[in-house]
Amino acid sequence: MDRITTAKWGIFSIFVLSLGVVWIWVSAIPQGNATQEEVFAPQEGFLAPNFTLQTFNGDEFTLSDYRGSPVVINFWTSWCPPCKSEMPTIQKIYDEFSDQGLVVLAVNSTHQDNLGDAITFAQIQKLSFPILLDKDGSASRTYDVRSLPTTFFISRNGRIKEVIVGGPMSEALLRIRVEELLEGGK
């Protein structure tokens, strides 16, 4: 290499390194007064992001209202075979553990579904837990849902204990996860 090429390479390298340092600085999480307890993210170990959604009848449900209770959030659609397959199991577990404080919020990804089909499915299955409508996809985006069904198990303190992507979940798996939530364990 001649001197000019070496000098150009050196300048280019310094530019790329400087750009990297600037990117790291700009994209860093602000330190401020935030503690880990206040960081919301749709991942295991973090606080579950809050949302407010409506049911078929227009009743509003806000996740943060259930702080202190174990919560299972299930994102689903009526056209998704694994979603439809696991719903009776979720209902069975809900029937068994709701008197111990278990909350199930079934979030229909209405932005990807037919509302009439979702209503019909919920009625046929006699689902008694709230069916929440994610009409604009905001909750799905907030929870970074990329596959259906996706289920979040949230502890009494609002932390996501586990995320299960795909399904259908077996009754044994669902039972174990719910019992762990109720006991306060993983």
Per-residue pLDDT reduced to its tens digit, 87-137:
999 999 999 999 999 999 999 999 999 999 999 999 999 999 999 999 999
Q: b/e string for 78-114 if b means 16 or more Cβ within 10 A? A: bebeebbebbebbbebbeebeeeebbbbbbbbbebbe
Residues 143 and 63: their CA atoms lie apart, in Å, by 13
Question: Token pair for residue 154?
Answer: 């949230």
- 12 or 65, higher pLDDT: 65
For residue 55, count CB atoms less than 10 angstroms from its CB and return exposed for 0-12, middle for 13-18, buried for 19 or more: middle
Q: Write down the CATH number for the domain with range 36-183.
A: 3.40.30.10
Instruction: Please report which residue ranges of the chain form alpha helices under DSSP H.
Output: 3-27, 81-97, 115-125, 138-142, 171-183
Residue 186: pLDDT above 70? no
- Total-model pTM: 0.78
Q: Is residue 89 within 8 Å of residue 167, measured between CB atoms?
A: no
* Of 4-13, 85-94, 137-146, minimum mean pLDDT range: 4-13
pLDDT tens digits, one per residue of 20-67 = 676 776 655 555 444 445 667 788 989 999 999 999 999 999 999 999
Taking the domains of the chain in order of start, what are their residue ranges? 1-30, 36-183
